[in-house]
Structure 1
């Protein structure tokens, strides 16, 4: 029986909401990167449940960075300017805009290397700059999700960027 491949962050090129062109996974700035992926506009509320913990974790783990990746279907790419401008207006903080990278891609092609099956959920990952997925959970912040993240981050890192 063949072992399924480990999840990896797909190779993508995209702009953050500040207009900077980026390539991932190599442009992840942290040794470990807490990455949130959403597929529907209303899922931002679920990502927001993680934000207070994310800020705390970044203070306690100086090599940790965080990113948000809204994944929008490829067909919406023609409306990229309109969508990005609307998102910019809704996110007044330049720091938050810099870590928000909208992906205009085939959702299935983005989901496959990560092993994702359900666009009705948000996902959180710890990813290396090489694209290795080291930790994963789904959905809004819960006690068990928070505990799992804390335990993972408190283990000594063996990542080499």
Structure 2
């Protein structure tokens, strides 16, 4: 009988330990389940955010494509206009070109004057072909006031009037 009592107490202790182990395993399983549920919820939230971001980027990409298409069309139109203008210019007869060398054809509106040179001799020249230094020396000789501040075009005009 003593051995049977001993067996019963040992069996009770083993049953108690087994119940504790099962309870502990259930707690761990519940904790793991809660963690996995929260991770799943976080993943669903991230998925929603990523999906929304992808939709937004897709819409922006479509807008960018449309803008590029519009700019390309505008550039093509502009290029076509430039080609047409160039072709039009090519059809216009060109003005006579001056022969090679030092002599140039005088302009029809040009005025020629005698220009003093370093050697003291004077030669005939077109006013618009002279340098500013030569124009200023002519203005000095003709006693034009304020010639140093005038532009070349204005100085040529004043010299023609004088």
TM range (shorter): under 0.3
TM-score (norm 2): 0.15
> Which protein has the bigger helix share?
2
Structure with the bigger RCO (C-alpha within 8 Å, sep 6+) is 1
Indicate the structure (1 or 2) with the bigger Cα radius of gyration: 2
TM-score (norm 1): 0.15
